[in-house]
Structure 1
Amino acid sequence: MSTVRGVRGANNTWRKADDIGNEPGLQLTKHLLDNSIITVPAILQYSGDKNGDQPCMGTRTIILRHIEESKGKKLEKLELGDYVWKSYKDVYEDMLVLSKGVLSLGLKPKSKIAMFAETRAEWYVFSVACMNAGMTIVTLYTNLNDDGVAHGILETEVDTIVTSVELMHRLAKILPGNDQVKRVIVLEDQLDGIGDAKATLPSMEVLSYGEVRKMGRDADVQNIEGPGPDDVAIIMYTSGSTGNPKGVLLSHRNIFSAITAYVVQAHLSPGDCYLAYLPLAHVLELATETAIIAMGVSIAYSSPLTLTNTSPKIMKGTVGDARMARPTAMCAVPLILDRIIKGVLTNVERQGKFASKLFSASLQYKQAINGNGGVLSRFLDTMIFNKVKAELGGRLRMMVVGGAPISNRTQLIIKAMFGCTLQAAYGATETSACATSMDADDHTLGHCGPPNPRTIVKLDDWEEGGYRVADEPLPRGEVVVGGDCVALGYFKLPEETKQSFYEEDGVRWFRTGDIGEMDENGCLRIIDRMKDLVKLQSGEYVSLGNVEAVLKTHAVVDNICVFCDSNQNNTVAVVVPAAETLKKIAAGLSKNESDNLSDLCNDADVVKAVLKTLQSHGRSQKLNRAEIPTALFLTSEPWTPDNGLVTAALKLRRKPIVKHFSQQIAAMYASS
């Protein structure tokens, strides 16, 4: 296969080379296109007919729910049993019945229905049922704050919301005063059904998922026409870093572009298993699961709270979802991968200095060979890394990572620990999540692959930041994405749509605001973000996102925000520390390890030691002098969507963070 993966065309554009991708994936994509199987319901029908009795969706049985109290907080722990599977035929028939059920409720084609629930099989099946009935799904992250959820509900004027028992209490706070919502459909809990959901919202019609399915079985509904490729499938609310979340209008054709990208890149077939735990409220997970269905692969549903043996909701003695499902493929975001790495390294350190040094040396060797294993690599897997692999089931072959830039260090460590391919992808909700993605056989680092099929990537000069397509040795500029993946625009935001989207030569384009560089193989490397680039008084530019991505790879950092005043010559940072690592640093200073996290964060000696550690780490990772923080503030307060410091996708909200820590930032600059 040629090393050229992206082909340069006229006007600073790049496309994917036609022969790149696995052959079965290319054939499947051609078959779907040739037979006009482009909408999400059509793909489920195609696979339901083709794969029949093969396992499609698996959900773990909840045996027992136990509430524990710790430090005044109530913690839910679950005892879980085996996965229970539904076949492709069963899932498709459920979807058809639910389509009839929602139509029998009086909902019409082109109407909107909101999904506000955690990732689970019923979420997917119900949403596709609504699409099959010609409706548009409004997706809302469950970790959007209440104002964000209320904004999405009000703006779209939905009269029906699908939710879970666990989220009914939030809707009870959000919906009073909202006269437009008439109906709530509740996805049942395995043990409690819908509990007291009907009493929670007594003024509304409250139905269970099962009741809607029964209505569908009894309904006399004929000739469901289904959606067209250019109908709006989803209004997907993005968790913007400023202001209210925006509703992105995504058509079935948009989603299909992301589906085909995954199909062409993934070496999967019936018998493989995909572990689903990321939010279905984002197009990345929705498109991935639809691609998985198109390939006839099984989906085992999970959540970040039950993923591994040490996940917060797993009861002692219960096996985590990954060990039980034994997936061969999964998706992830860099934050989750960094936490997996920190968890593994922490467990190794507890085994003593010898075990820690042996593991470290073995890990360094496997990173150095980067997937080119021999006899020694297989020996190390047998003796050391198979125990690590077992945490994610022991069969993992393929991982796709997106949502944010991934560091070379994280990429190498994950591949070394788990022996899987790790394919970085790049995109935004406005480009159906996936504009470029790496090939499975690509072991190079630092890029996120060539453009996906039927997608064009263009670089535009950004003179203010000093990035130009004519730059040597490689062209640089703002990344502009064109093709079928580009959304129709923002819901009820014509000015914002006009600023970010445009048509040219029959192609729809989206200005991403990211700064990219195209390498000699036609692969995209994200090197900056226009909003994150700050010019120091000395004239040097600092990329805040890049500095944060580098420093976040250290074990002491759980989260970090770097600040850069253009009237200064240095950066400062606020860090949410990882508790276990911070206590080790404190112990090295002869501090009392039993001190609570807040006390350690306020200890001047501890802060000084953490700063010195991060400065050393930054230098080792090739940050320059101007990029390395000269002062540091530690906070024990976690950053969550609820307190408004991160988005629902866990991205930093810089303006709220600056406002929240304004006094500390001023003090750091005054002292540095």
Structure 2
Amino acid sequence: MFTCYTYLTLPIYYVIQKPYQKLRKSHFQRSVQLDATDPYSPWVRTQETKFHVLTTSASMAEASKMMRRLYPLDRRCIGYRNVIEETVCTDADGLAVRLDGKVLRKLRLSPYVWFTYADVYDRIDCIARGLVVNGFQRRDKVVVLAETCADNLIFIQVCLKIGAVMVTVFATLGDEGISHCINETNAAIIYTTYDLLPKVQNILKTCPKVNTIIFVDNNSDAIKNNNTTQFEPNIKLLSTTGLYNDGKQEQTIELDGLELHPDELQIISYTSGTTGPPKGIEMTGAQLVRAGVSTSAAME
């Protein structure tokens, strides 16, 4: 009976699902070697590359500049949702549920709030100038220790604009792993979120070269009820709002020319080591662009 049903419905599935199209795509040759006789010859695309802002840019900073010319300023750029309510998830015994060491929380979120391109560019430029006002130097290493969020994406663009070398670190690596990443790169600046400040404060005990902490202060209620000045006097504590205001008042500071050369080191991305301490992957600006182009092609 089952076999009979399979054969009777096969034509219907063939017409609707069109398996021949998927088969043709899977057999399509997407790349060839420039020199088929040379096993070390590079591989190139067989199809013409569609226009993408990264395909005509030598670096991510250059791509960011091009986007300012391509998209209207009033167009939506980055969306985020505010946390309306936060509750701790508990088990049958009433104990907090933990996942990878972190307390699992249930969030009730607001509808999306949008930054336009004009909003994003304004924040990038003002925070960049604010960093310069507060002594930032080109090629300074900045440890990005933060969960993915709108502020994080904007700050990465700030780093590109002022020629910072980003050191991306997962907050789940643990204090020892994070300290290793900071000390191995000799970074003196840490960018983080307000809720991770206690973790950063604990890490600083083993990171003597760190002298500046930049934190996202979008949780204004929590900041009013807690003390953010518990760091040692030699640690400069800067909020993104403070940097924005500093940069807003210093409109004459010139930012052009601070971007790193495409062949210069742009990012050190740390992953949790399968064995031993976390491993850092170094990438230049040009390599970041090529990685972005490859990713965009795979998503088409």
TM-score strictly above 0.5: yes
Structure-1 residue corresponding to 2:7:
none
Aligned with 1:125 (options 151, 154, 171)? 154
Aligned with 2:106 (options 51, 69, 77)? 77
SS of 2:261 mapped into structure 1: coil
With over 3 angstroms needed to count, the CA separation of the structure-2 counterparts of 1:143 and 1:164, relative to structure 1, is: same
Any residues of structure 2 matched to 1:207-246 within 5 Å, and which? 207-219=238-250, 220-225=252-257, 226-246=259-279
Structure-2 residue corresponding to 1:63:
84
CA deviation after TM superposition for structure 1 residue 75, in Å: 4.9
- Once the two structures are superposed, residues 245-265 of structure 1 have per-residue CA deviations (whole angstroms, 9 ceiling, x without a partner) of 222221100001011113334
Any residues of structure 2 matched to 1:146-545 within 5 Å, and which? 146-190=175-219, 192=221, 194=223, 196=226, 198-203=228-233, 204-219=235-250, 220-225=252-257, 226-267=259-300
Instruction: Tell me if structure 2 keeps the 8 A contact 1:139–1:234.
Output: yes
Hey, what's the Cα distance between the residues in 2 that align with 1:242 and 1:69?
32
Q: What one-letter code is carried by the residue in structure 1 that aligns with 2:65?
A: Q
Instruction: Tell me if structure 2 keeps the 8 A contact 1:146–1:170.
Output: yes
Hey, what's the Cα distance between the residues in 2 that align with 1:197 and 1:249?
36
Instruction: Tell me if structure 2 keeps the 8 A contact 1:111–1:136.
Output: yes
Structure-1 residue corresponding to 2:69:
49
CA deviation after TM superposition for structure 1 residue 67, in Å: 4.0
Q: What one-letter code is carried by the residue in structure 2 that aligns with 1:4?
A: Q
Structure-2 residue corresponding to 1:27:
51
Structure-2 residue corresponding to 1:555:
none
Q: Which structure would you say has the larger RCO, counting Cα contacts within 8 Å and 6 or more residues apart?
A: 2
Q: What one-letter code is carried by the residue in structure 2 that aligns with 1:253?
A: A
Hey, what's the Cα distance between the residues in 2 that align with 1:102 and 1:10?
53
SS of 2:245 mapped into structure 1: helix
Q: What is the TM-score with the length of structure 1 in the denominator?
A: 0.36
CA deviation after TM superposition for structure 1 residue 199, in Å: 3.4
SS of 1:228 mapped into structure 2: coil
CA deviation after TM superposition for structure 1 residue 212, in Å: 1.0
Gap regions ≥5 residues in structure 2: 1-24, 97-102
Aligned Cα root-mean-square deviation (Å): 2.4
- Once the two structures are superposed, residues 269-322 of structure 1 have per-residue CA deviations (whole angstroms, 9 ceiling, x without a partner) of xxxxxxxxxxxxxxxxxxxxxxxxxxxxxxxxxxxxxxxxxxxxxxxxxxxxxx
1:5 aligns with 2:30: yes
Bigger shift: 46-55 or 189-198?
Answer: 189-198
Q: What one-letter code is carried by the residue in structure 1 that aligns with 2:45?
A: D
Structure-2 residue corresponding to 1:600:
none
Q: What is the TM-score with the length of structure 2 in the denominator?
A: 0.78
CA deviation after TM superposition for structure 1 residue 90, in Å: 2.0
Total equivalences in the alignment: 260
Hey, what's the Cα distance between the residues in 1 that align with 2:240 and 2:142?
14
Instruction: Tell me if structure 2 keeps the 8 A contact 1:62–1:191.
Output: no
Hey, what's the Cα distance between the residues in 2 that align with 1:177 and 1:246?
19
With over 3 angstroms needed to count, the CA separation of the structure-2 counterparts of 1:124 and 1:222, relative to structure 1, is: same
Hey, what's the Cα distance between the residues in 1 that align with 2:184 and 2:30?
42
Hey, what's the Cα distance between the residues in 2 that align with 1:200 and 1:67?
26
Q: What one-letter code is carried by the residue in structure 2 that aligns with 1:38?
A: A
Instruction: Tell me if structure 1 keeps the 8 A contact 2:85–2:109.
Output: yes
SS of 1:192 mapped into structure 2: helix
With over 3 angstroms needed to count, the CA separation of the structure-2 counterparts of 1:4 and 1:140, relative to structure 1, is: same
Hey, what's the Cα distance between the residues in 2 that align with 1:119 and 1:47?
22
Hey, what's the Cα distance between the residues in 2 that align with 1:223 and 1:143?
34
With over 3 angstroms needed to count, the CA separation of the structure-2 counterparts of 1:223 and 1:65, relative to structure 1, is: closer
Gap regions ≥5 residues in structure 1: 268-672
- Once the two structures are superposed, residues 350-377 of structure 1 have per-residue CA deviations (whole angstroms, 9 ceiling, x without a partner) of xxxxxxxxxxxxxxxxxxxxxxxxxxxx
Q: What one-letter code is carried by the residue in structure 1 that aligns with 2:253?
A: V
Bigger shift: 83-92 or 114-123?
Answer: 83-92
- Once the two structures are superposed, residues 549-570 of structure 1 have per-residue CA deviations (whole angstroms, 9 ceiling, x without a partner) of xxxxxxxxxxxxxxxxxxxxxx
